[in-house]
Copies of this chain bind each other. A is one copy, B any other.
Amino acid sequence: MTEEPTRRKRAGGRAGMQVRAGTAVIDQMPWRIPVNPDRPTEPLDADGVQRVHKTAMRILRDIGIEFLNPEAVTILKQAGCIVTGTNVRMDEDFVMEMVARAPSTFTITPRNPDREIIMGGNHMVFVNVSSPPNSWDMERGKRSGDFETFKEFMKLTQYFNCIHVAGGYPVEPVDIHASVRHLDCLYEKLTLTDKVVHAYSLGAERVEDVMEMVRIAGGLSEAEFQAKPRMYTNINSVSPLKHDFPMLDGAMRMARRGQPVVVTPFTLAGAMAPVTMSGAVALSIAEALAAVALLQYINPGCPVAIGTFTSNVDMKSGAPAFGTPEYMRATQMTGQLVRFYGVPMRASGVCAANVPDGQAMWETSNSLWSAVQSGTNMVYHAAGWLEGGLIASPEKFVMDCEVLQMIQRYFEEATFATTEDDLAFDAIKEVGPGGHYFGVQHTQDRYQHAFYAPICSDWRNYEAWAIDGAMWTQERAHRIYKQILAEFEAPAMNGDHQEELRQFVAKRKQEGGAPTDF
């Protein structure tokens, strides 16, 4: 018997375009904030943690960080740091005093308070893919990001209960002028989703506009807005050893209004960081702590988190690699350091693959499980990322959500509980040798929720699967994504708030939005 899997695949792809009548929405897990019960995987012993920490401290004291923002430099000079031009050096006592001010746990409350997330402790939340310039899907292939595609990803972000945060733009909508892009995007994000949203720290106007839009969407006074975290920003250093102007500006604006800042150096070992992983981690930690110290000096106790994005390059081609063994260890080591500093941690779900194939899933699995193993609290790019972050894919989004749901189920105590009921001695006695468990009461009482129920995996045997179209994973994911879009309903929103939001966007557009230099 022979067959042509690729021809079948094509048929599957076409079938995927049609939404069959009577198909129910997928049976996904309910919304929850997952709690990770596992002890983290710790490659470093206590001495190893100290050695990385002390190296970060030496970097901050002896080499210094470039702060390309005069206001930040002035503030750090006031704080007693040694300033030489844009170079700022700070000693361990200052850094540790500032870091100690940061809360170990905080919440972020979006317009729908039921979607509040917890950052810190054993809690873990998942964020959609953020910032690719391009999208790819089975139907249309690779193309530049546009506003319609942006909205599609916002619908997926809202639909999946295992996605807790509407992070950055899933694709950059280049068909909207950069001056007003943040206004259109945030309007859609705030109306198509009711989850925690993010502001890019790319200029004062953008940050201030987004904060204002989040305040309006939540129907909040300025005092209510500032009273607790309502949104967040993520800033990246320009590794090695630089923080640029707009990122620092946005971070300081957010910190002053009590809104969380995630500081995530992006270091590729062998390129903008040492070729050795602990060295790359030490550099990354130094850069993150420098920004944390600044923000804690400005607003003591303001919510911050430290992110890791330390991977390596392919030394043959210089191409970035993701989800590698080195990436996993860097994430685990960063987890140990961040716990030492006592602040929440961010990591990512990443891969270098260009399409949602086997490589995409082993790389993404490696990165997601290393997030679990490192005690990460916030997982960026948890669904939808391809090509090292240059592509967002709806099929990959669905496939990743299957993995995220499995992680959530893996966390449930039911999978490893040892009550008398779980140990099931009486059922084992009742069934006896050679019997079958399906018929016994112990099974009947539990079978509906005993095991993880997949959304995209096909567990049928080959023949049943082949007769039904022989669809590979990406084709099933394609069908699911189309079906979700077809049946999507936006979450309820207070009409007055929505109208005020609309008017704000119109006004700001009339004013020209944010300045652009092109």
Contacts and interface: CB of A to CB of B under 8 A. Distances in A.
A362 B2 contact: no
A235 interface: no
A175 B272 CA distance: 58
Contact of A406 (B142, B319, B325, B333): B325
B423 A461 contact: no
Contact of A354 (B134, B324, B399, B458): B458
Contacts of A4: 141
Interface residues of A, number: 147
Interface in A402-423: 402-403, 406-407, 409-410, 412, 414-418, 421-423
A307 interface: no
User: Secondary structure at chain A's binding surface: helix, strand, loop or mixed?
Assistant: mixed
A315 interface: yes
Contacts of A325: 406-407, 409-410, 412, 415, 452
B42 A39 contact: yes
B39 A41 contact: yes
B416 A473 contact: no
B142 A1 contact: yes
Given A332-B416, A460-B317, A436 B271 contact: yes
Interface string A368-407: 0100000000000000000110110000000100110011
A58 interface: yes
Given A354-B458, A358-B477, A360-B473, 19 more contacts: A1-B141, A2-B139, A5-B355, A39-B42, A238-B434, A240-B434, A241-B434, A269-B451, A270-B451, A272-B436, A276-B450, A277-B414, A278-B422, A279-B422, A283-B428, A314-B453, A315-B451, A355-B472, A362-B406
Interface string A2-15: 11111101100100
Nearest to A38: B41
Given A241-B434, A418-B48, A456-B359, A3 B39 contact: no
A391 B282 contact: no
A432 interface: yes
30 contacts: A1-B142, A2-B143, A38-B43, A63-B432, A63-B433, A66-B433, A270-B437, A274-B437, A274-B443, A275-B437, A275-B446, A278-B423, A278-B424, A279-B424, A279-B427, A280-B424, A315-B447, A319-B460, A321-B459, A324-B406, A324-B409, A326-B452, A328-B410, A328-B415, A329-B410, A353-B457, A353-B473, A357-B473, A358-B361, A362-B364
A313 B437 CA distance: 11
Contacts of A460: 317, 319, 354
B276 A437 contact: no
Nearest to A387: B462
A284 B296 CA distance: 54
Contacts of A410: 325, 328-329
Contacts of A318: 438
Interface string A299-324: 00000000000001111111111001
A226 interface: no
Nearest to A406: B325
Contacts of A87: 433
A363 B142 contact: no
A75 interface: no
Contact of A282 (B2, B423, B433): B423
Interface of A: 1-7, 9-10, 13, 37-39, 41-44, 47-48, 51-52, 55, 58-59, 62-66, 87, 134, 136, 138-144, 238, 240-242, 269-280, 282-283, 312-321, 324-326, 328-329, 332-333, 352-366, 369, 387-388, 390-391, 399, 402-403, 406-407, 409-410, 412, 414-418, 421-425, 427-429, 431-438, 442-443, 446-448, 450-454, 456-462, 465-466, 470, 472-474, 477
A435 B238 CA distance: 10
Contacts of A369: 365, 369
Contacts of A55: 423, 425
Contacts of A446: 275-276
Nearest to A460: B319
Q: Which of A63, A277, A354, A458 has the most CB of B within 10 A?
A: A354
A430 B358 CA distance: 40
